[in-house]
Structure 1
Amino acid sequence: MTIKVFPKLREQIWGSYRLGKIFGSDERIGEVWLLSGHPLFITEAENGLDLNEDMEKLIGKKLPRFPLLVKLISAEDWLSVQVHPNDEEARELESEPWGKTEAWYFVEKGQIAIGEDPEKIRKALEDNSWNEALKKVEIEPGNFVFLPAGTVHALGPGGLLVEVQQASDLTYRVYDWGRGRELHIEKAFKVMKKRKVEDLIEKNFKDFECEYFKIEKLREGELKGFCAIVILENGVLDNRRVLPFETFIVPKGEKAKLQAPALVMRIGKFFEQWGDKK
Structure 2
Amino acid sequence: MSVDLPIRRVAKPWGCDVLPPPFARDGDERIGEIWFEPPPQLPQLLVKYIFTSENLSVQVHPSDAQTQADGLGRQGKEECWLIVDAQPGAKLGIGFDAPIDADAMRAAALDGSIEHLMSWHAVKPGDFFYIPANTVHAIGAGISLIEVQQNSDITYRLYDYGRPRELHLDKGIAVASGVPYPDRYRASVPGHGEVTLVSGPLFRLDRIEGTPSAGMAAHYGEGPFLVVPQDGEVMVRGEAVAPGSCALVAAMAELMVPAGAKALLAQAGI
Shift of 1:122: 2.8
Q: For residues 105-124 of structure 1, what are the structure 2 equivalents within 5 Å?
A: 105-109=82-86, 110-116=90-96, 117-119=99-101, 120-124=104-108
Given the alignment, which residue of 90, 93, 96 partners 2:73?
96
2:268 pairs with 1:267: yes
Q: Distance in 2 between matches of 1:201 and 1:133?
A: 20
**For the aligned residues, what is the CA RMSD?**
2.3
2:134 and 2:48 map into 1 onto residues whose CA distance is 20
Q: Secondary structure at the match of 1:188?
A: helix
2-side partners of 1:8 and 1:213: how far apart?
22
User: Which stretch of structure 1 is more off in the superposition, 78-87 or 131-140?
Assistant: 131-140
Q: Deviations over 1:121-152 (max 9, x none)?
A: 33413544335411111112111110011000
Q: Measure the CA separation in 1 of the matches of 2:5 and 2:178.
A: 37
Residue equivalent to 2:11? 11
CA contact (8 A) 1:115 1:121 kept: no
Please tell me the residue identity of whatever aligns with 1:251: A
Aligned-partner residue type, residue 34 of structure 1: F
In structure 2, stretches of 5+ residues that fail to align are none
1:189 aligns with 2:157: no
2:245 corresponding residue in structure 1: 246
- In structure 2, the residue matched to 1:71 is 48
Contact map agreement 1:235 1:242 (CA 8 A) in 2: yes
Rounded to whole Å, the distance in 2 between the matches of 1:242 and 1:98 is 30
Q: What is the deviation of 1:14?
A: 1.2
Picking from 171, 174, 195, the partner of 2:155 is 171
User: How many percent of aligned residue pairs carry the same amino acid?
Assistant: 31
Alpha-carbon distance, 1:254 to partner: 4.7
Structure 2 residue identity aligned to 1:231 = P
Amino acid at match of 1:210: G
- C-alpha contact (below 8 Å) 1:115/1:153 kept by paired residues: yes
TM-score by length of 2: 0.81
After TM superposition, list the pairs within 5 Å mapping 1:120-269 onto structure 2.
120-125=104-109, 127-197=111-181, 198-204=183-189, 206-207=195-196, 208-222=198-212, 224-225=221-222, 226-238=224-236, 239-252=238-251, 254-259=253-258, 260-269=261-270
**Structure 1 pair 112/256, CA: closer, same or farther in 2 (3 Å)?**
same
Partner SS, residue 221 of structure 1: coil
- Cα distance between partner residues in 1 of 2:234 and 2:115: 46
Distance 1:128 1:4, change over 3 A: closer
In 1, distance between residues paired with 2:8 and 2:134?
27
In 1, Cα distance between equivalents of 2:211 and 2:255: 8
TM-score, length-normalised on structure 1? 0.79
Partner secondary structure for residue 149 of structure 1: coil
Distance 1:209 1:23, change over 3 A: farther
Structure 1: distance between partners of 2:254 and 2:229: 17
Partner AA of 1:188 in structure 2:
G
Matched-pair contact (CA < 8 Å) for 2:3–2:239? no
Moved more, 175-184 or 259-268: 259-268
Structure 2 residue corresponding to 1:26, chosen from 25, 28, 42: 28
Q: CA deviation at 1:255?
A: 2.6
Counting matched residue pairs gives: 243
What is the rounded CA distance, in whole Å, between the counterparts of 1:94 and 1:156 in structure 2? 32
Whichever residue aligns with residue 163 of structure 1, its letter is E
Cα distance, 1:118 vs structure 2 = 4.3
When residues 195 and 201 of structure 1 are mapped into structure 2, their CA distance, relative to the original with a 3 A threshold, is farther
Report the CA distance shift for 1:23/1:6 in structure 2 as closer, same or farther (over 3 A): farther
Which runs of no fewer than 5 residues in structure 1 stay unpaired? 37-50, 60-65, 270-278
Report the equivalent of 1:48. Answer: none
Q: Deviations over 1:169-204 (max 9, x none)?
A: 000000001112110000001111144333432112
